[in-house]
Structure 1
Amino acid sequence: MFVRTVYATGDPAQLGAAVHALNTQGHDLLEERPGYRGAGVFIDRDLGKLLSVSWWESVEARHNSDEVMRARRPELLQPFAGTVAVENYEAAVLHAGRRTLAGGGLRLTRVEFAPADADLAADTFRTGVLPRLEDLPGFAGAALFLDRARGRGMTGVLFTDRGALVASRTGQATVRREGAAKAHVAVIALEEFEIVHADVRSD
């Protein structure tokens, strides 16, 4: 599958309005688009960050949805958003796991790599990293997103609750260090978010 991410930052006091708009008007808009396969909304209440991810069955479906969503996005994110960045990725690996409830946690790792190493990154995550993540208490799902042409990507690991997210930090740090070395990727950012909702239909 393929994904579009929207990363917005702004005034934490206005974050709730954006979340409400995405969960109501934004959800309805996405559901109407052909090829839509699910979405997630993740937030950092303290800093005022919002990450939304929409899932699409093809590049064409994602592209065709973009005209409508691009026109409506400013309205949905105001008055919260001061900055907005939109990116497109291939979902190279997906472990849908179990449905995660609001209040769970997401750990996001942004990586860079030589474009020629994209397959190595995917294979390493699928066969070496993911099985070890599954053993972490509270693991609820994971995915690897790749932009092969630009040599950029991100991994997202979901946990059932905030406690499990915090408790997993040491364990995932070891997996991350060893996986990055094997996959020849450079970790450029590490973030944590609260899950507002996360739902993807992988079948």
Structure 2
Amino acid sequence: MFVRTVYVTGDPAKIDTAVRALNTEGRELLEERPGYLGAGVFTDHELGKLLAESWWASEEARSNSDTVMRQHREALLEPFAGTLTVENLQAAVHRSLRVPRMGGGLRVSRVEFDPADADLFTETFRSTVLPRLETLPGLVRTALLIDREHGRGRVGALFVDRASMAASRAGQAAARHEGVAKARVGVVSLEEFEVVHADVLPG
């Protein structure tokens, strides 16, 4: 699967306007596009951060959809958006364990690696990190998203509620430490979001 993420920061008091637009008009636009598999909207109301992602069956479907979404993105996110960054990634590993729900938590680790180590990173995540994450109580879904060309990626862990996410911090930190050491990966940021919307994804 292929993923497009939209990372937006702005005035926390205006974030709900953007969320409503993404969950109505934005979702309708996505659902009309061939190859669409699902989407998620995640927020940090305190700091004024919004992460939106859409999942696609092929790289071509993602690219074709962006031609349409680019025309509407700024209007959907006004007046909240102060900064906006779009990133295209491949779902190298994806595992769903249960149905996500509103009010859950998402933890995102942003990473950098030598593009030549993309396969090493993917295999290390699949064989070493994923089994440890799957033991965390309340885990809903986890994914490794990578940009092979530029050596960037994200590890996302979605939890059934915020309490489960908080309780998992030590366990995921241990898994992160082991994976980074084996795969020669650098963690550049760690963030947590509230789940506003997350579709059930295939796989």
Q: Residue in 2 aligned with 1:198?
A: 198
TM-score (structure 1 length as normaliser): 0.98
The yes-or-no answer on 1:63 pairing with 2:63 is: yes
Q: Deviations over 1:4-51 (max 9, x none)?
A: 000000000000000000000000000000000000000001000000
Q: Residue in 2 aligned with 1:151?
A: 151
Q: Residue in 2 aligned with 1:79?
A: 79
Q: Residue in 1 aligned with 2:182?
A: 182
> What is the alpha-carbon distance in structure 2 between the residues aligned to residue 20 and residue 41 of structure 1?
10
Report runs of 4+ in structure 1 exceeding 6 Å deviation: none
Q: Deviations over 1:80-101 (max 9, x none)?
A: 0000000000110001221111
> What is the alpha-carbon distance in structure 2 between the residues aligned to residue 101 and residue 132 of structure 1?
22
Q: Residue in 1 aligned with 2:135?
A: 135
Q: How many pairs are equivalent? A: 203
Please state whether the residue corresponding to 2:98 is helix, strand or coil.
coil
Q: CA deviation at 1:197?
A: 1.2
Structure 1: runs of 5 or more not aligned: none
Please state whether the residue corresponding to 2:199 is helix, strand or coil.
strand
Equivalent AA in structure 2 for residue 131 of structure 1 = P
Structure 2: runs of 5 or more not aligned: none
Q: Is the 8 A contact 1:55 1:200 kept in 2?
A: no
Q: Residue in 1 aligned with 2:39?
A: 39
Q: Is the 8 A contact 1:110 1:190 kept in 2?
A: yes
Identity of paired residues, percent?
Answer: 64
> What is the alpha-carbon distance in structure 2 between the residues aligned to residue 198 and residue 76 of structure 1?
18
TM-score (structure 2 length as normaliser): 0.98
Please state whether the residue corresponding to 1:73 is helix, strand or coil.
helix
Please state whether the residue corresponding to 1:79 is helix, strand or coil.
coil
Q: CA deviation at 1:200?
A: 4.2
Q: Residue in 1 aligned with 2:100?
A: 100
Please state whether the residue corresponding to 1:6 is helix, strand or coil.
strand
